[in-house]
Structure 1
Amino acid sequence: MQRIPNAIQLTELTADRLADLYAYPAALDAPWVRTNFVSSIDGAATAGDVSQGLGTPADKTVFLLLRDLADVILVGAGTVRAENYGGARTDAARRRRLHERAIGGHPDGAPPPLAVVTASAALEPGSRLFTDTAVPPLILTTAAAPADRKQAIADAGGEVIEVGGVACTQKAILAALAERGLYRVLCEGGPHLHGELLEADLVDELCLTTAPVLIGGTARRITLSAHEFQTTMRRRHVLLDDDGTILTRWVRR
């Protein structure tokens, strides 16, 4: 059987070794943007209109590890609504261990906040984003967003941060996170936010799970943008699970 170069069986890895494979660079002084997506073999980013429909046990394992490693989880408002996001559920003990090893995590084990991008501040104050979270979400919006919406978000416990006049600019988004010392950025989508970050040349790496399934239909890809571009990536590793799931990590060349 022909082997995939650098491929590793997921079952052969200890928890610490898996964390090492996904560690952020040491001593960051600026945001490092990692994106994480799951796709079918034929390129669908969703099944039944949600990414959870493509999930596998291996994908869930890495999904949770990436959240434990991150300082902040960046996500678009459309994905928050479609996936019914609540606050991140992370492993406090593992977050502390990762911090002690200087590869991620948090000294107190606290979960990373969600940073939600919404130019119009169109979020429901009664949603799980605000009612089911251990840390207040950061709401990245614009000066032009309706003041009553921003006030309602603040009243619900969100921290409202303006990162543009009429549009949320990608550099301003990352600058706002950097001001708060949130350098280990994990972007979970959606495709439009991913495309905007890529088009602005601000994505440092992509973690991609390929689920062993064909979807067909008209499901979106993991990236949508107004213009075509090419970003050359280098494969860092390939992990294989017994059910056929393939987990890859790609870094910008």
Structure 2
Amino acid sequence: MKTLRTIIADDSEPQLNAICRELKMFCPQVNIVAKTLTLDDTALAIKTYDPELLLLDVEFHYDETSFNLIEQCRSEGDIRFQLIFMSGHAREKNYATLAADYSALQCLQKPIDPQKLKEAVLKAEAWFAYQEVKGQQEAIKIYNQQVELMTKLLKTKDFRQPFFVRSVRSQWINLDPKEVLYLESDGKQTIFYLTDKRQVVGMELIGFYEFLSENYSFLRVHQSYIVNLDNMSLFHSQENYVRMSDGKVISPSRQGATLLRERFSQQYAPLPKTTD
């Protein structure tokens, strides 16, 4: 077990103390070296303590966000610590959470579930093991690409960018949405089927990847399938099946079929009549 030098940053002192208590209770690998209530103090603590893990609230006072701090850190060089963001906003349409998921970073919802906190810290710890396999510089390079993607998404909200998938052996794989045919759940993991016949195994359950639906081309048509409509060759609405461009036939659920019909009716709706 690796000990992680850790900074906790939250603009609410009660929240800050609660998170520290939970970390001490459930995450013995965490060594808290600083607790901060402002972004300026957090920036100073980063320079002072050279942390390996930063738990960072998304929203701070005076309309500041933690992403101001992240951009400042990136302007000074590569980020070499793991980030766990914390957000008090609902997960649905929370762009900080969506951008974190899309980038294979971590964003926990408040109040923080102790089990999810424990899992998040274990993932952060695994990144340092990944450095030993991939090489420190290469691992840091990939991580900074993930952070860059997250900040870009928060500015543009354009979810057509290549995204990151946490795969086996704690690897982070970058995939272009256009490469993806469909995602299939095996009950424990999610398999990405790609246009070049490759398969990538994602370590999360398929529901985690519903952030892909922020890209209009993706739709969850069944509890076990998310499809890329751009790589679908046929939708037979009467017999209720879709055929993907690789020949795979998928039977959507009742709700999935309804969503498909709605999507196609929106996409191919007749043009309104015009008058001279």
TM-score bracket, shorter-length normalisation: under 0.3
After TM superposition, the score normalised by the length of structure 2 is: 0.25
After TM superposition, the score normalised by the length of structure 1 is: 0.26
Bigger relative contact order (CA 8 A; separation at least 6): 1
Larger radius of gyration: 2
Between Structure 1 and Structure 2, the one with more helix by share is 2
